[in-house]
């Protein structure tokens, strides 16, 4: 397996890099907030500068002012905006992250749905991994759901996985992970759903094709006005995402989630996140797990 990286031309960058002024930081911060809802307080200035440096290098631009002017141009909106969002968004994830959620899912949520689905025409559980990053969460969901529904012939599941970052979505669709990354996967599921690499792929695992086909990846920006998903969702996993949004954006997002739910759907949030004051139509059923009152 080989990986390529466009390092651009070094030029004078080995001597001096441009500095991000307060004025330009404020312009970037306002633009990023308007574009994708991510709030960047002044403490994030150094982080933003470091992350954007590589885009300036690749585009051979000499200042942050020139870069932002380019991003704001029609050509930049078409060619560069997605790259900028990829750079500034945070994409931390793991297989079986916050593992208690999957225990709640198999002991409480899925038995509830089995009972409902057995007596209705609704035979496919629809799950949305909102903010899926590089795919560890939706593939974890697929392993758990596939293993669970193997005991219930006639019932099925489908997973939609979305993220704003095109770079991590490409990695998720590739479905190849290092041995270290897949270490949290229980051995019985690892043996069933992951293929161990050999030769040039030694040190890597790949998700089996049957499981890959159960997950559909799609780029989606939570703050887009035309935010829309065709199917109603039974389960929504949106974990460790809303912490990057202010209260106004959080309220707008949960209103969108509410409209997207099927009756009595379940929402899973990060354990450090709370719906207090913004999710009054959600009933808490376990730690960071809510049922939609609908």
* Residue ranges of domains in the chain, CATH in brackets: 11-88 (1.10.155.10), 100-292 (3.40.50.150)
Evaluate whether 196 touches 208 at the Cβ level (below 8 Å).
no
* Candidate list 55, 163, 190, 291, residue with the active-site label: 163
C-alpha separations of 172 from 31, 78, 132, 231 in Å? 27, 23, 8, 22
Phi, then psi, of 180 in degrees rounded to 5: -65, -40
Tell me the C-alpha distance between 68 and 65, whole Å. Answer: 5
Evaluate whether 125 touches 157 at the Cβ level (below 8 Å).
yes
Query: Which comes out higher in pLDDT, residue 277 or 242?
Result: 242
How many helices (H) and strands (E) in the chain?
A: 12, 10
Would you report the helix, strand and coil content of the chain in percent, each value rounded to 5? 45, 20, 35
Which pLDDT score is estimated for 16? 57
pLDDT digits 0-9 by tens, 192-242: 999 999 999 999 999 999 999 999 999 998 888 777 788 999 999 999 888
- The DSSP 8-state label assigned to residue 197 in this structure reads P
* Average pLDDT score over residue span 249-268: 90
Whether pTM > 0.75 for this model: the answer is yes
Q: Is 51 a catalytic residue?
A: yes
Tell me the C-alpha distance between 83 and 33, whole Å. Answer: 16
Q: What percent of the chain has pLDDT over 90?
A: 59
* Candidate list 51, 116, 206, 284, residue with the active-site label: 51
Which pLDDT score is estimated for 274? 77
Among 275, 276, 265, 279, CA closest to 236: 265
Give the burial class of 34: count Cβ atoms within 10 A of its Cβ; 0-12 exposed, 13-18 middle, 19 or more buried.
Answer: exposed
C-alpha separations of 81 from 36, 85, 114, 214, 287 in Å? 11, 6, 43, 30, 37
Which pLDDT score is estimated for 97? 94
Q: Is 94 a catalytic residue?
A: no
C-alpha separations of 188 from 126, 139, 193 in Å? 25, 15, 9
Give the burial class of 107: count Cβ atoms within 10 A of its Cβ; 0-12 exposed, 13-18 middle, 19 or more buried.
Answer: exposed
Phi, then psi, of 288 in degrees rounded to 5: 60, 30
């Amino acid at each position: 397996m080989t990986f390529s990286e466009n390092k651009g031309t070094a030029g004078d960058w080995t001597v001096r890099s441009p500095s991000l002024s307060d004025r330009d930081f404020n312009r970037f911060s306002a633009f990023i907030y308007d574009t994708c809802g991510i709030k960047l307080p002044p403490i994030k200035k150094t982080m933003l500068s470091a992350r954007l440096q590589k885009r300036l290098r690749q585009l051979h631009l000499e200042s942050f002012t020139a870069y932002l002017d380019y991003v704001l141009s029609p050509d930049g909106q078409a060619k560069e905006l997605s790259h900028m969002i990829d750079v500034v968004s945070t994409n931390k994830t793991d297989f079986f992250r916050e593992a208690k959620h999957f225990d709640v899912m198999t002991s409480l949520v899925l038995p509830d749905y089995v009972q409902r689905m057995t007596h209705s025409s609704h035979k496919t559980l629809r799950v949305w991994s909102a903010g899926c990053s590089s795919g560890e969460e939706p593939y974890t969901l697929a392993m758990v759901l596939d293993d669970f529904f193997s005991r219930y012939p006639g019932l099925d599941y489908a997973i939609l996985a979305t993220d704003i970052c095109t770079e991590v979505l490409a990695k998720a669709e590739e479905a190849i992970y290092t041995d270290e990354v897949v270490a949290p996967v229980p051995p019985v599921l690892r043996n069933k759903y992951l293929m161990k690499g050999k030769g040039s792929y030694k040190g890597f695992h790949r998700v089996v094709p049957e499981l890959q086909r159960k997950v559909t990846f799609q780029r989606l920006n939570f703050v887009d006005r035309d935010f829309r998903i065709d199917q109603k969702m039974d389960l929504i996993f949106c974990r460790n995402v809303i912490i990057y949004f202010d209260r106004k954006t959080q309220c707008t997002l949960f209103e969108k989630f509410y409209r997207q739910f099927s009756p009595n759907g379940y929402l899973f949030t990060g354990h450090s996140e709370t719906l207090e004051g913004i999710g009054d139509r959600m009933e808490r059923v376990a730690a960071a797990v809510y049922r939609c009152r609908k």
